[in-house]
Amino acid sequence: MSSEISTATSQDAVLAEILALPAPHGTGRSVQNFAADVLDAVVRRTGRSASAVVDRDDGRGTAVLATAGADRGKTSTALRVPLDLVAPWSGYLMLTTDGTHVDLIGALAAQRISTALEYERLRGADLRRQAWMSYLVEVGNLLAHSLDTTLTEALIPRLIVPRLAPWCVLYIHDDPSVRIAAAAHVDEAMVVNMLSDQHFFGVRLQADDIRAAVRESAGPAVFDGPPALMIPLRSHGQRIGALLLGRHGTAEPETVSIAEEVGRRAATALDNARVHAERQHVARTLQEALLPAEPSQIEGVGIGAAYLPAGWQTQVGGDMYDIIPLPEGGCLAVLGDVAGKGVQAAAVTGIVRVVLRLLIADGKPVTQIFQQLNDLILSQSQRYCTMAVAEIRPARSGDLSAIVYLAGHEQPLVVRRDGAVATAGNWGTALGVRAHVHCVPETVLLHPGDTLVMFTDGITERRAGKEFYGPDRVSRCAAQLAAHTADVIADGLVTAVLDFSDDAPQDDITVVALRNDGRAAADASIL
Amino acid sequence: MDEEVAVATHAMRMAGDTCVVDLSGEIDMLSADTVEKWLYDAGRGSGAAAVVADLSAVDFLDSSGVRSLLRAKEALDGDGIAFRVIKPNAMVERILHILGLYDMLT
């Protein structure tokens, strides 16, 4: 039923006009205006109306993009031309005609509008992807610098709210239990409710089905009361926990995949923090095994020990000390320093400590113990060990005698109660270097109030720029602490050495102070 | 206070049948292995009967540094090449005395 309408523009002219319309890409013109121009041209041919309808998958359903003309005639034929769009976008042109054939014009109009829409879709997706990429990079950077488990847990939901979800809960799977580690909400005040077992929100977040999903779900899961999306967290195949993200309406596939990406980064960060915490624990346990379980109580001897390992928390140092009570009164105070740091040094330190205790229990003289340790270290290790031993025994008139044995170690200081300071002991050979250990013991008397201060080279070699703390500063500092108890002297010296520089210590710092806490015989006789 | 990091450097010269290695900077955990190699290579490569490490420009020697000297000495001794250090500064000399290694290394 074709009939020509003379007033209508010819088909070729309309086709040419539609083809000539400049595409809106990069011109700043909207797709709507462009579509309106295309439909105007169509209507010039049909004399009736045309509209373009599109669903951009933005949650608003189908919407009219543009219209042109108006239905005036009674006899009209409707023609529906689908737009060539990529799912989930869809749309069509609705053309009413008076019967004129407009298939070709409709197809061309649909094609031009489709192309413009497709460009808009890709451009939008590109911009969103760029925004998501920079968001993920930001998330990755923030998490990469977080090594503390508690802080990492607290950080994760705050990276998600409000960017990805209005609220978020981080569940941690501590087999078999599931706990809420952290929560965030766009409305800060709501966080209290989320963590409350009184408030319905909190109760719901602790519900059995959610906990079960944290334990079991393998992929993203959707919940309805309240609407939420769960992203399981895994690292190295281990179930670490899950993120629960609040949502408005349906979860968009894009949000889900971004949430999964954030989840992957969060799981890695949690795993790293956990490994770091384990390393700290191992270092601390190992270190504690190298130190006396509890400060011994030796009658008449005040004992102060201060120890500061280098390599904050995860490193094990090579310093060790021990206080071994002697059966006939007094004690052996041992301070050792194995060259180097780390597990290898600590292993040598551990051997030295155990063998030392055994040999001392056997009642061997210290010089012989040095020789045996020397042979052991020579055969077992490339490292050498320096050691200072003070054999403290009660002497006459309330004095203590201190026999100082040195094997490659700094000389201890005798700090008199009046502040006079002198070195004690003769330098001897470090253990594990030569076949024969040269050691000449020296005896000093500690009068009541006098203190013997032993320390490792972490004290003298502490540096600020090019300057070393050095033996002279140690002496001056010890002199100022003379009137104090043994533990104050030990702590005071370590504090002064630490304050010498802003840098973290490069080596273990250990001080053992032994003070004659007895009263002079003369004082006792007066009473 | 953050001056340039003082790393160890070295230069070699022959004095008769002795190869003198002028060390400078800091011989510590970071440079110890390199220093050990320098000293050993000095003996191996030069065909010298003795290697002498001149420490006059060495500012600092820690326990790793001492180990590098001991290991170099052990390796050179094994090849029949004598090794000793000369001109340590006061601090380095003190460290060698404390360790009971002054006589052995000088």
Identify the closest residue of chain A to B92 by CA–CA distance: A461
- For residue A226, whether the previous peptide bond is cis, meaning omega lies within 30 degrees of 0, is yes
Contacts of A384 in chain B (CB under 8 A): 63, 66-67, 70, 99
Alpha-carbon gap, residue A441 to A392, rounded angstroms = 13
Alpha-carbon gap, residue A299 to A311, rounded angstroms = 36
Identify the closest residue of chain A to B94 by CA–CA distance: A410
Angle between helices A366-380 and A342-361 (to 10 degrees): 150
- Any bridge partners for residue A156, and if so which? none
Contacts of A408 in chain B (CB under 8 A): 98-101
pLDDT score of A437 more than 80: yes
Contacts of B104 in chain A (CB under 8 A): 433-434
Distance from CA of A338 to the nearest CA of B (A): 9
- The model's pLDDT over A218-250, given as tens digits with 9 standing for 90+, comes to 888 888 878 899 999 998 888 899 999 998 666
Which amino acid, one-letter code, is at A302?
G
- The model's pLDDT over A304-359, given as tens digits with 9 standing for 90+, comes to 988 887 765 566 668 888 999 988 889 999 999 988 777 777 788 888 888 888 99
Per-residue model confidence (pLDDT) at position A182: 93
pLDDT score of A527 more than 50: no
- The model's pLDDT over A138-190, given as tens digits with 9 standing for 90+, comes to 888 888 877 788 889 999 999 998 888 999 999 999 888 899 999 999 998 89
The tokens of A492 are what?
């005071």
B91:A382 CB<8 A: no
- Count of A-B CB contacts under 8 Å: 62
Mutate to test the interface with B, among A384, A459, A502 (most CBs of B within 10 A): A384
Contacts of B63 in chain A (CB under 8 A): 337, 339-340, 384, 386, 457
The tokens of A395 are what?
């002497």
Distance from CA of B57 to the nearest CA of A (A): 14
Whether the Cβ atoms of residue A105 and residue A11 lie closer than 8 Å to each other: yes
The partner residue sitting opposite A465, judged by closest CB among B3, B29, B101, is B3
Alpha-carbon gap, residue A489 to A515, rounded angstroms = 9
Query: Containing H/E element for A453?
Result: strand A451-455
A339:B67 CB<8 A: yes
Contacts of A337 in chain B (CB under 8 A): 63
Mutate to test the interface with B, among A433, A456, A469 (most CBs of B within 10 A): A433
The partner residue sitting opposite B1, judged by closest CB among A411, A464, A507, is A464
The tokens of A367 are what?
């010089």
The tokens of B101 are what?
């290694």
What is the distance of C-alpha A334 from the center of its chain?
38
B100:A507 CB<8 A: no
Complex-level ipTM = 0.82
B100:A464 CB<8 A: no
- Any bridge partners for residue A335, and if so which? A321, A388
> How many C-beta atoms lie closer than 10 Å to residue A147's C-beta?
17
Comparing CA positions, the residue from A348, A518, A381 lying closest to residue A450 is A518
Identify the closest residue of chain A to B103 by CA–CA distance: A429
Whether the Cβ atoms of residue A428 and residue A439 lie closer than 8 Å to each other: yes
Contacts of A438 in chain B (CB under 8 A): 100
Per-residue model confidence (pLDDT) at position A473: 95
Alpha-carbon gap, residue A150 to A81, rounded angstroms = 59
Token pair 């894009």 is found at A254
End-to-end CA distance of chain B: 34
Alpha-carbon gap, residue A423 to B34, rounded angstroms = 35
B100:A429 CB<8 A: yes
CA dihedral angle for residue B66, residue B69, residue B74, residue B78, rounded to 10 degrees: 180
The partner residue sitting opposite B98, judged by closest CB among A339, A408, A466, is A408
Cβ-count burial of A375 within 10 angstroms (0-12 exposed, 13-18 middle, 19+ buried)? middle
The residue ranking higher by pLDDT, B6 or A202, is A202
Contacts of A410 in chain B (CB under 8 A): 98
- What are the backbone angles phi and psi of residue B103, rounded to the nearest 5°? -65, -40
Handedness of CA A123, A129, A133, A135 (dihedral sign): positive
Within 8 A by CB and 6+ apart from A455, the residues are A335, A410, A412, A474, A493, A509, A510, A511, A512
- What are the backbone angles phi and psi of residue B104, rounded to the nearest 5°? -70, -35
Distance from CA of B95 to the nearest CA of A (A): 9
Mean pLDDT of A44-49: 79
Contacts of A428 in chain B (CB under 8 A): 100
The partner residue sitting opposite B1, judged by closest CB among A433, A465, A507, is A465
Interface of B with A (CB under 8 A): 1-3, 6, 29, 59-60, 62-64, 66-67, 70-71, 91, 94, 97-101, 104
Distance from CA of B2 to the nearest CA of A (A): 7
Alpha-carbon gap, residue B2 to A311, rounded angstroms = 20
Comparing CA positions, the residue from A237, A236, A228 lying closest to residue A259 is A228
Contacts of A457 in chain B (CB under 8 A): 62-63
The tokens of A254 are what?
């894009």
pLDDT score of A26 more than 80: no
Pairing of strands B50-61, B82-86: parallel
Highest mean pLDDT among A87-101, A293-307, A468-482, B4-18: A468-482
Let me know the angle formed at the C-alpha of A71 by A69 and A72, rounded to the nearest 5 degrees: 110
Contacts of A339 in chain B (CB under 8 A): 63-64, 66-67
Per-residue pLDDT band for A524 (boundaries 50, 70, 90) equals very low
Per-residue model confidence (pLDDT) at position A73: 62
B100:A465 CB<8 A: no
For residue A281, the 8-state DSSP code is H
- 3-state SS, residue A389: strand
Comparing CA positions, the residue from A143, A320, A339, A108 lying closest to residue B99 is A339
For residue A7, the 8-state DSSP code is T
pLDDT score of A493 more than 90: yes
- 3-state SS, residue B30: coil
A408:B100 CB<8 A: yes
